[in-house]
């Protein structure tokens, strides 16, 4: 695999498992020095060890991205021990159950917004400030096709849509465009990847059987397919791309 990100320091939030883990390995394969952020120390350390076993460079830093003070402390530690961040991938997120909109508790709304949206804002604010000073950098935010559609793949008219989750992901899309416009004159690109239905190690056959017929390409996506889009947007090959919402959804949404 071509080393398009050699000598680049890449921070992946929520990088200890699932999509974040796949992104970390993909960036490593392209030559990046990967920094894993998560709230799970054991899983973070495990990813770091696996990357090192494959000959890559990696380290892990714990922080709750919804807490600005923790993010500031983490970024300072990364800069002091690893170096300035060249690429930020905002992947950390929490998920939600499909419940009627009128039954969404304030606490549940705040839980989704604090991690999924405020967490992205916090990391962009702190890391983006450093990138401004250096006049370079790339930020990739992970949203979801639900941020465009306002519903999950299998929603039926009149049924719950995970409105709070969709709203948090829509906020990421808008934030991406706003910051891309503001930071472009300073040499900083800001893009977004919006995956559709992506399977993982615990996706049940029943869930795949329900979703696959709804996808034009006939299947759920894989974490590595999403990670490939992230690696492209982070690379010099996307040097003229900013403010883009990159759909990876098998044709569920074509816009």
Q: How far apart are CA 242 and CA 140, in angstroms?
A: 10
Mean pLDDT, residues 177-202: 96
Catalytic option among 25, 145, 165, 246: 165
Tell me, what's the pLDDT at 193? Answer: 98
Q: Which tens digit of pLDDT belongs to each residue from 18-64? A: 999 999 999 999 999 999 999 999 999 999 999 999 999 999 999 99
Q: How far apart are CA 55 and CA 191, in angstroms?
A: 29
Tell me, what's the pLDDT at 51? Answer: 98
Q: In what order do the strands lie in the sheet with 9-13?
A: 57-62, 33-38, 9-13, 87-90, 137-142, 188-195, 245-248
Active site residue 165: yes
For the domain 9-248, what is the CATH code?
3.40.50.720
| 174 pLDDT above the threshold of 80 | yes
- pTM of structure: 0.97
Residue 201's pLDDT band (cuts 50, 70, 90):
confident
């Amino acid at each position: 695999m071509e080393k398009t990100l050699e000598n680049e320091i890449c921070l992946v939030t929520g990088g200890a498992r699932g999509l974040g883990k796949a992104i970390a390995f993909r960036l490593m394969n392209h030559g990046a020095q990967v920094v894993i952020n998560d709230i799970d120390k054991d899983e973070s350390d495990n990813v770091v060890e696996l990357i090192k076993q494959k000959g890559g460079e990696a380290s892990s830093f714990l922080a709750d991205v919804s807490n600005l003070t923790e993010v500031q402390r983490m970024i300072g530690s990364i800069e002091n021990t690893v170096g300035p961040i060249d690429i930020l991938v905002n992947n950390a997120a929490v998920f939600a159950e499909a419940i009627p909109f009128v039954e969404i508790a304030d606490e549940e709304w705040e839980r989704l917004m604090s991690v999924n949206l405020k967490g992205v804002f916090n990391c962009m604010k702190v890391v983006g400030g450093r990138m401004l000073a250096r006049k370079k950098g790339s930020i990739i935010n992970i949203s979801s096709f639900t941020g465009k559609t306002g519903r999950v793949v299998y929603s039926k008219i009149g049924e719950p849509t995970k409105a709070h989750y969709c709203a948090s992901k829509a906020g990421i899309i808008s934030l991406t465009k706003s910051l891309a416009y503001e930071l472009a004159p300073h040499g900083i690109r800001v893009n977004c990847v919006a995956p559709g239905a992506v399977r993982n190690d615990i996706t049940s056959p029943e869930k795949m059987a329900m979703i696959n017929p709804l996808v034009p390409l006939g299947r759920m996506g894989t974490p590595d397919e999403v990670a490939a889009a992230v690696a492209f947007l982070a690379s010099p090959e996307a040097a003229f791309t900013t403010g883009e919402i990159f759909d990876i959804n098998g044709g569920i949404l074509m816009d």
